């Protein structure tokens, strides 16, 4: 059972435009959410996170929105740059236990110059 | 800088052989995680260490998989009698203790079982 879902395997966006990556989750115990970016042959790197007490968190060009009632979060990248081309993973964790991350399957973003 | 390192970067083995994968976490990080990513899939949690103890092994797919950590540092993941479905990239991550400390990932070991 996939608790974190990224239904779009790929996305192409023109440079300078907005990229919107979506993520849905099913476990209501998740209270902390993260986005990681992964380039080929490298490990994932942390991008941005959000706690369930917030509905928005911004860091430069990156904003994460959380809609708890819909169990949905999204990552907005504005403006998109060619260097943003990578696979983006959504992850979630529960308040209790080991804080392990449950990852989605990833969305491959391609920013076209 | 001293990030998380993993070795080997690539490992090709024959079905039925044992393999050992190594992870060197960031110095001082007490938490260590192993994940794997099979082709076309997301990262799948395997095991978590706090110090040298493994309070969560719930992700290990079978008893052919085991892991240990020593000196609150290096960890090894061992897969016995490898099967073709074990082929994946195995990723290690470490973090400081605490709820909101991000996990830093190594580059992974790509395991191919022929």
Concatenated DSSP letters for B31-72?
EEEEEEE-TTS-EEEEEEEETTEEEE-TT--STTEEEEE-TT
The residue of B41, B43, B100, B104 whose CB has the most chain A CBs within 10 angstroms, and thus the best one to mutate to test that interface, is: B43
Residue A68 is encoded by which pair of tokens? Answer: 């708890």
Classify residue B82 as exposed, middle or buried by CB count within 10 Å of its CB (0-12, 13-18, 19+): buried
Chain A residues within an 8 Å CB radius of B104 = 46
Which of B10, B42, B105 to substitute to test the interface with A, most A CBs within 10 Å?
B42
Q: Sign of the C-alpha dihedral, residues B102, B103, B107, B112?
A: negative
pLDDT, position B97: 79
∠ at Cα A24 (B102, A88), nearest 5°? 50
What are B21-79's pLDDT values in tens digits? 999 999 999 999 999 999 888 899 999 999 999 989 999 999 999 999 999 899 999 99
How confident is the model at residue B112, as a pLDDT?
97
Contact B71, B56 (CB under 8 A): no
Instruction: Grade residue B1 by pLDDT with cuts at 50, 70 and 90.
Output: low
Mean pLDDT split into 10-residue runs, chain A, 113 residues: 91 97 95 94 93 95 97 97 96 82 95 95
Distances in whole angstroms, Cα of residue A32 to Cα of each of A43, B6, B66, B71, B112? 21, 27, 28, 30, 34
Q: How far is CA A22 from the centre of its chain?
A: 7
Q: What is the pLDDT of residues B11-32, one digit of tens each?
A: 999 999 999 999 999 999 999 9
Residues B107, A34: C-beta atoms closer than 8 Å: no
Does the pLDDT value for residue B106 go beyond 80? Answer: yes
């Amino acid at each position: 059972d996939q608790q974190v879902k990224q239904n779009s395997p790929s996305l192409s966006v023109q440079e300078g435009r907005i990229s919107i990556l979506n993520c849905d989750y099913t476990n209501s115990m998740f209270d902390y959410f993260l986005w990681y970016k992964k380039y080929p042959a490298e490990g994932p790197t942390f991008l941005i996170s959000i706690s369930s007490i917030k509905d928005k968190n911004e860091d430069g060009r990156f904003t994460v929105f959380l809609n708890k009632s819909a169990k949905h979060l999204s990552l907005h990248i504005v403006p998109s740059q060619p260097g943003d081309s990578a696979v983006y993973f959504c992850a979630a964790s529960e308040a209790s236990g080991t804080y392990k991350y449950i990852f989605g399957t990833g969305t491959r973003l391609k920013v076209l110059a | 800088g001293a990030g998380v390192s993993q070795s080997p970067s690539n490992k090709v083995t024959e079905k039925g052989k044992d393999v050992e994968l190594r992870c060197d976490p960031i110095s001082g990080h007490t938490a260590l995680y192993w994940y794997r990513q099979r082709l076309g899939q997301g990262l799948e949690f395997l095991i978590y260490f706090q110090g040298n103890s493994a309070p969560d092994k719930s992700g290990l797919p079978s008893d052919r998989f085991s892991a240990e950590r020593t000196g609150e540092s290096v960890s090894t993941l061992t897969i016995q009698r490898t099967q073709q479905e074990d082929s994946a990239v195995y990723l290690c991550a470490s973090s400081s203790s605490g709820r909101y400390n991000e996990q830093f990932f190594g580059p992974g070991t790509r395991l191919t079982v022929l």
